[in-house]
Amino acid sequence: MERLIVNYHSREKRFAYLRENRVENIVIDRPEHRSLVGNIYLGTVTKVLPGMNAAFIDIGEEKNAYLHRNVLPSFVQSKDQQKNVTSYVHQGEKMLVQVEKDATGTKGPKVKGIIEIEGNHLVYMPQGRYVAVSKKIAHESKKTTLRKIGTKLKTEEEGMIFRTSGIYSSEEEIAAELQMLREQYQELLQKASVQKKPGMIFQKDTFIEMVITQAARMKSGEIIVDDLSLKNVLEKVNDHTKLSFYNGKENIFSSSKVEHEIDKALKRVVWLDHGAYLIFDETEALTIIDVNTGKFSGKIDYGETVLKTNQLAAKEIVRQLRLRDIGGIVLIDCIDMTREQDKQTILDTVELELNKDERRTKIIGFTELGILQLTRKKTKVTLSEALKVKCPVCEGTGRILSPETVAFRLERELLEHRSSDFEAILIGTTPEVKEALLGTHEAHRKVLEELLQLKLYFTLQPDLPHFYQLKQFGDDEELSKKEQL
């Protein structure tokens, strides 16, 4: 049983795909995090990098975009493709670019100069030069026919990619759609010609497209939406699954128990059946997943317990990669397996589960230390990046300086002022730092004050992170009145 639950009736738009009442995929679309993939911009080259064969492009967004030489129209059209990027682009040049990967972390979006305009049966590339056919079309004869049609209809510099539905289209239909897409491209050029500053000239409605795509993948089941306008759109393109409208007072995700799954997908620890668990540590460069047996002891022997735990982990890890939308390098620290056939079993399990994932993933294999390596194509921010911000206290590290560390720093700074011309000092800090400095029941106060030749007074403020501030030097009597404990 498959279900697609769409929460469209708010500014934050979401959908969840469930198989056998188990959430397999969650997509969240917010205005501030809306994917730029597919959007077309008028950009200005701000910097050319010969060493990287790339350039940075100002597209009017917060971060400049990255453009590699190999996706420049001038490079694709060139007969001599050994030249450096400086031969194809220069600083200050204006050009149309299309986003192919969203900004992540400190990196700006990745763009290409080969513009793609999508139609129902084909993708038109005004400067693509080649003809390609969707890999989902298995019949070689159909592929050959479509390539011949594309070569016949396109100009030398144009390119096109036939979509799966192209096998059901006649040459006349393809020619008509190609002409329509050419006209759309000319409209983009016209809009760009009158636009003075870098900025967007075409925005793709990716959310509805993703809903339609997910619905098309469903063989049967039910689609439930909370917006009548979206229901009307889906009725026109969906004829193989039941379509229902939800108008309850409770949010559709809450009533369907999906909200709880989102909360679980943001946690660092994921519990498996039988008491084993996973620990997820996401960084900008890669994601590390640690597999632990936990309370799972198995029923046969240790080797069988390890294999069973790693198999359970492999299945859940692939599911979590989809739920969390994790991309890039993924390292899985499986429990050590001594038998090579066990490692192969885990590789087979991962590969089988990845067949359910539409995102391109490559399994690298096990390292000598038993770390399973794989890469998953990253096109947008992860679920945690979309829903969370860095902790203002720990700056995303998950740890802060201890009271003892801050107290010793305070002590070292106080020692710089020993034997000064003042009688006392007023210090602002937290109760925990004061206790670490002076000891339990202020056992160290007398020794420290004698060493410093200063009386110590405090104003205390419970806070995180722990801190201190040398607020005032002065007379003993004056500062004693300002002490606040």
DSSP characters for 35-83? Answer: --TT-EEEEEEEEEEGGGTEEEEE-SSSS-EEEEGGG-HHHHH-S-TTS
Segments of the chain assigned to CATH 3.30.420.10 = 2-34+205-260
- Residue-level pLDDT at 296: 63
Q: Note the Cα 484 to chain centre separation in Å.
A: 47
Supply the DSSP symbol for 328. E
* pLDDT tens-place string over residues 18-51: 988 889 999 988 877 778 889 999 999 999 999 9
CATH of 403-480, one of 3.20.20.480, 3.30.1600.10, 3.40.1190.20, 3.40.1260.20: 3.40.1260.20
Segments of the chain assigned to CATH 3.40.1260.20 = 403-480
Query: What is the three-class DSSP state of 421?
Result: coil
Look at residue 297 and tell me whether its pLDDT is greater than 70: no
Residues 6+ apart with CB under 8 A from 271: 277, 294
pLDDT band at 341 (very low <50, low <70, confident <90, very high): very high
Q: Assign domain 2-34+205-260 to its CATH superfamily.
A: Ribonuclease H-like superfamily/Ribonuclease H (3.30.420.10)
Query: Taking the complete model, does pTM exceed 0.75, yes or no?
Result: no
Look at residue 101 and tell me whether its pLDDT is greater than 60: yes
Q: How far apart are CA 367 and CA 168, in angstroms?
A: 46
Segments of the chain assigned to CATH 2.40.50.140 = 41-202
Look at residue 258 and tell me whether its pLDDT is greater than 80: yes
Burial of 56 by CB count in 10 Å (0-12 exposed, 13-18 middle, 19+ buried)?
A: buried
- Cβ–Cβ contacts within 10 Å for residue 333, how many? 17
- Per CATH, which fold does 41-202 belong to? OB fold (Dihydrolipoamide Acetyltransferase, E2P) (2.40.50)
Q: How far apart are CA 59 and CA 111, in angstroms?
A: 10
Residue 427 token pair: 């210090």
